[in-house]
């Protein structure tokens, strides 16, 4: 599905990413984590083909991103950027429907998919609202719905790239988004790559984790249990990080302050 082999990226002689190697199989969810400026969003841009690698090799579905025709890429790779600005009064339903634009010719199918995605993210009540009237968290959910609609019901392997999908969402909507992504992975031949920051939920719902340092170098890649350790995270962020556990011994994620939980 997705293979990176010693991938590097430079701008004007400045190294942004260096030596990133990973593999992601169909149906897996990869979390990319690291401090600000680690090159996480840049890595997503390399996968979409918006930027080209300057060293190493990156393939998606067995091809380099530049080998895709624009229509094929739009049908198989969907992305949620960190900042999605709209300055026109499109309705929520219209914005989500943009995700089905690469599949023109099937209006009935598009309408069904838009309704299903809106229902999954509890956006039905906003369907005819202008995007300009929504809060930041509501807009985030709409743009996420647009990206999900793009790969919804895919019959061929597809890739969903999410840059901080839980930003600006309250805890209830974060749970709803996690459920939707699990549903997508279970029902379709899709893999997901998410840039995330929340150490408290870092072990939940991910099959693989890639840690990028502030210098854009890969510190670790593998299963959450192997990669998300106090030693790795303390090195990554430059502060002491402990694993937190509930009274029954189950993991409560990681944090710099143990609060009322016991350290593991």
CB within 8 Å of 146: residues ≥ 6 apart: 80, 95, 96, 98, 99
Asked whether residue 112 is assigned to any structural domain, the reply reads no
pTM above 0.85, yes or no: yes
Asked whether residue 55 is assigned to any structural domain, the reply reads yes
Residue 200: predicted pLDDT: 67
How far apart, in Å, are the Cα atoms of 62 and each of 43, 192, 232, 235?
18, 17, 31, 34
Asked whether residue 114 is assigned to any structural domain, the reply reads no
Domain carrying residue 51: 2-83+156-228
Residue 204: predicted pLDDT: 76
**Number of domains the chain contains:** 1
Tokens 């260096």 found at? 18
Q: What is the pLDDT along the chain (264 residues), one digit of tens a residue?
A: 899 999 999 999 899 999 999 999 999 999 999 999 999 999 999 999 999 999 999 999 999 999 999 999 999 999 999 776 777 889 999 999 999 999 887 666 889 999 999 998 989 999 999 999 999 889 999 999 999 999 988 889 999 999 999 888 888 988 889 999 998 999 889 999 999 988 767 667 899 999 999 999 999 999 998 999 999 999 999 999 988 778 887 777 787 755 444 444
Asked whether residue 242 is assigned to any structural domain, the reply reads no
H helices of the chain, where? 40-48, 70-76, 92-97, 107-120, 136-151, 171-187, 224-227, 230-237
Q: Angle, to 10 degrees, between the axis of helix 136-151 and the axis of helix 171-187?
A: 0
Asked whether residue 108 is assigned to any structural domain, the reply reads no
Phi first, then psi: what are they for 27, rounded to 5°? 85, 0
Asked whether residue 191 is assigned to any structural domain, the reply reads yes
Asked whether residue 42 is assigned to any structural domain, the reply reads yes
Contact (CB, 8 A) for 186 and 154: no
Q: What is the CATH number of the domain that holds 72?
A: 3.40.50.300
Phi first, then psi: what are they for 179, rounded to 5°? -65, -40
How many angstroms separate the CA atoms of 95 and 254, rounded?
36
Contact (CB, 8 A) for 27 and 11: no
**DSSP letters of 87-102?**
-S--BHHHHHHGGGGG
Asked whether residue 58 is assigned to any structural domain, the reply reads yes
């Amino acid at each position: 599905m997705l293979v990176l082999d010693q991938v590097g990226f430079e701008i004007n002689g400045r190294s942004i990413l260096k030596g990133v190697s990973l593999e992601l199989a169909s149906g897996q969810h990869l979390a990319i984590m690291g401090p600000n400026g680690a090159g996480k969003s840049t890595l997503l841009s390399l996968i979409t083909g918006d930027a080209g690698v300057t060293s190493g090799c990156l393939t998606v579905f067995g091809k380099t991103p530049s080998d895709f025709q624009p229509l094929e890429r739009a049908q198989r790779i969907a992305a949620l950027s960190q900042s999605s600005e709209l300055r026109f009064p499109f309705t929520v339903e219209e914005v989500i429907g943009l995700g089905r634009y690469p599949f023109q010719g099937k209006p009935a199918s598009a309408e069904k998919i838009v309704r299903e995605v809106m229902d999954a993210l509890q956006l039905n009540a906003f369907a005819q609202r202008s995007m300009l009237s929504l809060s930041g968290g509501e807009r985030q959910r709409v743009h996420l719905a647009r990206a999900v609609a793009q790969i919804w019901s895919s019959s061929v392997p597809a890739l969903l790239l999410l840059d901080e999908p839980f930003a600006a969402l309250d805890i209830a909507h974060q749970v709803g988004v996690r459920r939707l992504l699990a549903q997508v992975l279970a029902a379709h031949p899709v893999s997901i790559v998410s840039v995330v920051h929340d150490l408290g939920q870092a072990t939940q719902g991910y099959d693989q984790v890639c840690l990028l340092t502030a210098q854009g170098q890969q510190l670790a890649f593998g299963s959450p249990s192997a990669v998300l350790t106090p030693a790795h995270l303390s090195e990554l962020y430059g502060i002491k990080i402990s694993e937190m556990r509930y009274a029954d011994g189950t993991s409560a994620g990681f944090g710099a302050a143990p609060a009322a939980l016991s350290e593991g």
